[in-house]
Homo-oligomer: A and B are copies of this chain.
Amino acid sequence: MKNLNLFRFVPFRMNRLAAEISAALSVEYRDRYGLDIPEWRVIATLGFRETPCTAQFVSESTHTHKSTISRAVSTLIERGIVERVENKVDRREYSLRLTREGRRLYLSLIPRLKRREAEILSCLTEAELRQFELLLGKLESGLSLPTGNAPAASVARSDAVAKDQARG
């Protein structure tokens, strides 16, 4: 077939689905808390990890441009949601962590977002959902996206790893 049915074209479908799902979720973090997606990603990353982490870690693990993360962090600091912790060893970088208020916001946001996610996925059975998540994981691995399964170093220090590999 020489034609291409856009409705059967996976890249288009993924784009559209992602946009639609984002829109559904933004009701929670944007309308309710005045957060945009990059800001939410910073909060989610810091909130989930127990240890503080750098802007670069957030940028790489969420696959978001570092300038976008930089601006999101600035806003969150102004709002008292995130704070910088100076790194005495390397003063170029800062560790980021949620403030007490930031953590409160994070904890109140989580159940809302999970509920939205469940709503969106409610058209799938339990088995279908597990299958879907499995397939997403395969695609992520195939595209070399961080999955959270790999050792933290592979995200936090991808450049260093690359250098090591080049040396070895």
Chain B residues whose CB sits within 8 angstroms of the CB of A143 once the complex forms? 17, 20-21, 24, 120
Chain B residues whose CB sits within 8 angstroms of the CB of A14 once the complex forms? 14, 17-18, 21, 136
With known contacts A120-B139, A120-B142, A123-B142, A11–B6 Cβ distance under 8 A: no
Does A36 interact with chain B (Cβ within 8 Å)?
Answer: no
Chain B residues whose CB sits within 8 angstroms of the CB of A159 once the complex forms? none
A6 and B48 within 8 A (CB): yes
The listed residue (B11, B136, B138) touching A25 by CB distance below 8 A is B11
Chain B residues whose CB sits within 8 angstroms of the CB of A86 once the complex forms? none
With known contacts A123-B139, A135-B124, A110–B3 Cβ distance under 8 A: yes
Does A145 interact with chain B (Cβ within 8 Å)?
Answer: yes
Does A154 interact with chain B (Cβ within 8 Å)?
Answer: no
Interface digits, A72-103 against B, CB 8 Å rule (1 contact, 0 not)?
A: 00000000000000000000000000000000
Nearest B-chain residue to A147, judged by Cβ: B7
Does A151 interact with chain B (Cβ within 8 Å)?
Answer: no
Report the Cα distance A1→B150, complex, angstroms: 22
The listed residue (B2, B13, B61) touching A110 by CB distance below 8 A is B2
With known contacts A9-B117, A45-B6, A135–B145 Cβ distance under 8 A: no
Please name 13 pairs of A and B residues whose Cβ atoms are closer than 8 Å in the assembled complex, sorted by A.
Answer: A4-B113, A6-B148, A9-B44, A10-B117, A10-B120, A14-B14, A15-B37, A18-B19, A20-B63, A20-B145, A123-B142, A124-B139, A128-B135
